[in-house]
């Protein structure tokens, strides 16, 4: 019972916090009127409709301080017709000089660009929505908002925009089709907010005020868009996205013949209702997805890399965000990375204002040479809104092998008969977002499973302008198994308290500064200590948006299984050995408005087996805005260990060049030299977005042995996609 008592107490506290009164935003209203005039998206705003539209003005400053109106003036107007929602933003100059932009690439880094963004909450649930916008050079930004203020910029859909620069202002104009977004039929009020980032004055602002400790995307602080009549339902909403692919690859290492690739496939998106979408895919291909950024792995557990494939992204929070960072019962990257996907379907979206649903089914092929059977992956997720912004979620996940034939060889997770997970969680978000948290219980089912297959966890956080307080605990049973999830370790109890405070000087170069104390403490299921990390850091936030962080930490590890501290295949430290060390680090990130930017982290201290570790990482960047960006990332690890390991050094070097000829034509070339894995990877990608959400890709990849730069393997892929809307 001791394992469940903290969960029970936190659940009671969650309910008490969730029931607090909803904040009043009725004073921030923008009325929208339908237009019969044709709106041309050119950034000139010379239609008569714009002259008569109601304007959102008097933005509030969010950064550097949130106690006054913004100094940089912004004006926004909105209208619509039977097909599109139109947005016009006039962004006046805050200071003389050129605008600050990173490039013309889509989904730019918010902190490195002068930009304007707008956020829709079409259900007024203050939890889910959409974001669109552009930087001052016209590069587009679009994404899905989930969990009240988090952005998924991997989402991509059809819309158009234009940015035009004038002497005293830049103007953003956009048309977002109603078929692109999901909304509840018949609602005449939406949540809405606008955000402006002006790096020349280091000022971030929003129309409806947002406290500085929260991002401007926070849906807890939206105003209200009041429609003159409910937005139009556009009828049939069906999109077909076929692709044609050709390519070749050659494995020089294993001296196999050249493999020629010719494939066709398609995705289909069907708007079942204005708020519910059905996605279908047949023979999907993800070769155009950018490769993962490599890291030097000196950890005892599996690393996490995010999902990037387009099919899995819409409403992905219903599936992939169930659980915690290291307790994910479902992780879509487990599907189709090593075996081809035959087909899949996903139904996701809103049933009404209070209910969301997600149903996914994916089928993979069998791979004879790998002894992998065909497998089916089925996921059902259901979410019910409670109180003002909280919700209760239910998840069921089933992985089933087709025509399963066990043999005498050990069964791997990839080839097991079945694995099932069921779980329920409560997500807390108070009306003003000061209190957030989660409580969950999971159970797994597998062949011959017995013992401790239960997992539960909970956390509670409080954040205001000065204080950041948090508590999290986890219990993962030794026999809990999530084969289609991400759970790097089992059989532990974890507690994680943290506290932070910020001071705000009235003058000077420092905007805020303060300490953060945190401890991550692990025990086994008998409450015996296995490892911990306790650290104290101090962070300085400068008015020019540079940051400086210093940290001291104390570590302890009792190994529960053999571990090679170099992760290079050498001898391992034995189970049960204990290791203690201290380390210090300092990190500096330069101001983002400079053409030359840099960041550096230096960490030094002890390591396993009474060794030492020096880690130096940095990133240097220079931009010839807005067309060319050059970055060089390096990571150096110096390990000093006793025999048999001795001195080990690992370099990880990653140069990258981004060329954005226009906001529709991009070229990227980057390399990765990883001394730990003894590999050099070169990757180039040309992308031409010839129509909204329709692309032509050329991707070329090389892998080399670093000693003599002899080729391991080489591949070239050409891919064409087109988005038909009916």
DSSP readout, 668-705? EEEEEEETTTTEEEEEEEEEEEEETTEEEEEEEEEEEE
pLDDT of residue 249: 92
pLDDT of residue 299: 77
- pLDDT tens-digit readout, 46-65: 999 999 999 999 999 999 98
Position 19 pLDDT exceeds 60: no
pLDDT of residue 659: 95
515 inside domain: no
Rg for the chain (alpha carbons), in Å?
Answer: 26
- pLDDT tens-digit readout, 512-560: 999 999 999 999 999 999 999 999 999 999 999 999 999 999 999 999 8
What's the pLDDT band for 293 if we cut at 50, 70, 90? low
What's the pLDDT band for 359 if we cut at 50, 70, 90? very high
- pLDDT tens-digit readout, 637-686: 999 999 889 999 999 999 999 999 999 999 999 999 999 888 999 999 99
Q: Residue 718 and residue 643: Cα distance in Å, rounded?
A: 50
pLDDT of residue 175: 97
CATH number of 144's domain: 2.60.40.1190
- pLDDT tens-digit readout, 220-270: 999 999 999 999 887 778 999 999 999 999 999 888 899 998 999 999 999
Position 410 pLDDT exceeds 50: no
pLDDT of residue 707: 81
344 inside domain: no
82 inside domain: yes
Range of the structural domain that residue 77 is part of: 35-227
Total number of domains in the chain: 1
What's the pLDDT band for 402 if we cut at 50, 70, 90? confident
| % pLDDT > 70, the chain | 91
Strand partners, 406: none
pLDDT of residue 417: 86
671 inside domain: no
71 inside domain: yes
Give the HSE-up count for residue 562: Cα atoms under 13 Å, Cβ half-sphere.
6
* Cβ atoms within 10 Å of 102's Cβ, excluding its own: 24
- pLDDT tens-digit readout, 432-482: 899 999 999 999 999 887 789 999 999 999 999 999 999 999 999 999 999
- pLDDT tens-digit readout, 145-172: 988 888 888 788 889 999 999 999 999 9
* Cβ atoms within 10 Å of 402's Cβ, excluding its own: 12
Give yes or no for a cis peptide into 64 (omega within 30° of 0). yes
pLDDT of residue 426: 97
Residues 6+ apart with CB under 8 A from 647: 638, 639, 640, 641
101 inside domain: yes
681 inside domain: no
Residues 6+ apart with CB under 8 A from 337: none
Position 82 pLDDT exceeds 50: yes
What's the pLDDT band for 22 if we cut at 50, 70, 90? very low
3-state secondary structure of 332: helix
pLDDT of residue 415: 66
191 inside domain: yes
């Amino acid at each position: 019972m001791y394992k469940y008592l903290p969960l029970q107490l936190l659940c009671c506290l969650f309910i008490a916090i969730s029931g607090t009164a909803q904040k009043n935003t009725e004073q921030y209203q923008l009325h929208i009127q339908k237009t019969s005039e044709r709106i041309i998206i050119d950034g000139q705003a010379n239609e008569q409709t714009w002259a008569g539209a109601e304007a959102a003005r008097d933005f509030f400053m969010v950064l550097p301080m949130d106690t006054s109106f913004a100094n940089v003036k912004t004006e926004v107007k909105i209208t619509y017709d039977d097909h599109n929602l139109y947005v016009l933003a006039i962004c006046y100059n805050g200071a003389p000089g050129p605008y600050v932009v990173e490039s013309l690439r889509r989904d730019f880094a918010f902190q490195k660009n002068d930009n304007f963004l707008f956020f829709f909450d079409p259900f007024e649930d203050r939890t889910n929505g959409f974001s669109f916008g552009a930087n001052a050079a016209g590069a587009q930004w679009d994404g899905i908002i989930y969990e009240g203020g988090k952005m998924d910029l991997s989402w991509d859909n059809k819309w158009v925009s234009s940015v035009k620069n004038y002497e005293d202002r830049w103007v953003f104009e956009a048309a977002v089709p109603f078929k692109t977004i999901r909304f509840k039929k018949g609602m005449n009020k939406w949540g809405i907010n606008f955000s402006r980032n002006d790096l020349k004055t280091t000022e971030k602002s929003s129309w409806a005020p947002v406290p500085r400790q929260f991002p401007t995307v926070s849906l807890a602080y939206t105003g209200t868009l009041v429609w003159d009549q409910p937005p139009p339902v556009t009828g049939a909403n069906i999109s077909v996205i076929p692709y044609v692919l050709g390519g070749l690859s050659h494995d020089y290492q294993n001296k196999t013949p050249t493999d020629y690739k010719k494939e066709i496939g398609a995705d289909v998106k069907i708007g079942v209702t204005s708020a519910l979408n059905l996605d279908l895919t047949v023979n999907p291909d993800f070769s155009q997805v950018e490769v993962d950024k490599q890291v030097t792995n000196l950890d005892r557990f599996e690393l996490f890399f995010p999902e990037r494939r387009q099919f899995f992204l819409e409403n992905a929070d219903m599936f992939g965000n169930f659980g915690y960072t290291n307790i994910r019962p479902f992780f879509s990257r487990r599907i189709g990375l090593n075996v081809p996907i035959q087909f899949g379907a996903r139904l996701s979206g809103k049933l009404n204002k209070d209910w969301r649903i997600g149903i996914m089914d994916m089928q993979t092929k069998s791979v004879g040479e790998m002894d992998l059977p065909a497998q089916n992956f089925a996921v059902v997720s259901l979410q019910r809104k409670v109180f003002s912004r909280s919700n209760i979620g239910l998840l069921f996940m089933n992985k089933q092998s087709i025509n399963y034939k066990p043999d005498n060889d050990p069964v791997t997770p990839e080839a097991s008969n079945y694995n099932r997970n069921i779980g329920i969680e409560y997500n807390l978000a108070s009306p003003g977002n000061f209190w957030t948290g989660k409580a969950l219980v999971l159970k797994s089912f597998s062949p011959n499973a017995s013992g401790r297959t239960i997992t539960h966890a909970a956390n509670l956080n409080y954040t205001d302008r000065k204080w950041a307080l948090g508590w999290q605990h986890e219990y993962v049973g030794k026999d809990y198994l999530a084969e289609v999830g991400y759970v790097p370790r089992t059989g532990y109890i974890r507690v994680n308290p943290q506290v932070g405070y910020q001071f705000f000087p009235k003058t000077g170069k420092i905007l805020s500064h303060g300490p953060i104390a945190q401890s991550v403490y692990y025990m086994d299921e008998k409450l015996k200590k296995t490892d911990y990390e306790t650290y104290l850091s101090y962070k300085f936030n400068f008015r020019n948006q540079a940051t400086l962080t210093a940290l001291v930490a104390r570590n302890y590890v009792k190994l529960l299984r053999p571990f090679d501290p170099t992760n290079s295949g050498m001898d391992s430290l034995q189970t049960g050995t204990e290791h203690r060390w201290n380390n210090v680090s300092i990190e500096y990130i330069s101001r983002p408005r400079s053409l030359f930017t840099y960041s550096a982290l230096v960490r030094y201290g002890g390591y396993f087996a009474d060794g030492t570790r020096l880690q130096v990482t940095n990133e240097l960047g220079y931009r010839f805005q807005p067309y060319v960006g050059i970055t060089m990332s390096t990571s150096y690890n110096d390990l000093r260990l006793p025999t048999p390991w001795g001195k080990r050094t690992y370099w990880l070097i990653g140069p990258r060049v981004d060329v954005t000829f226009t906001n529709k034509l991009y070229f990227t070339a980057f390399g990765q030299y990883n001394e730990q894995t003894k590999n050099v990877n070169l990757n180039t990608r040309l992308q031409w977005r010839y129509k909204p959400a329709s692309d032509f890709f050329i991707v070329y990849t090389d892998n080399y042995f670093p000693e003599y730069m002899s080729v391991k393997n080489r591949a070239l892929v050409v891919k064409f996609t087109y988005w038909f809307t009916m």
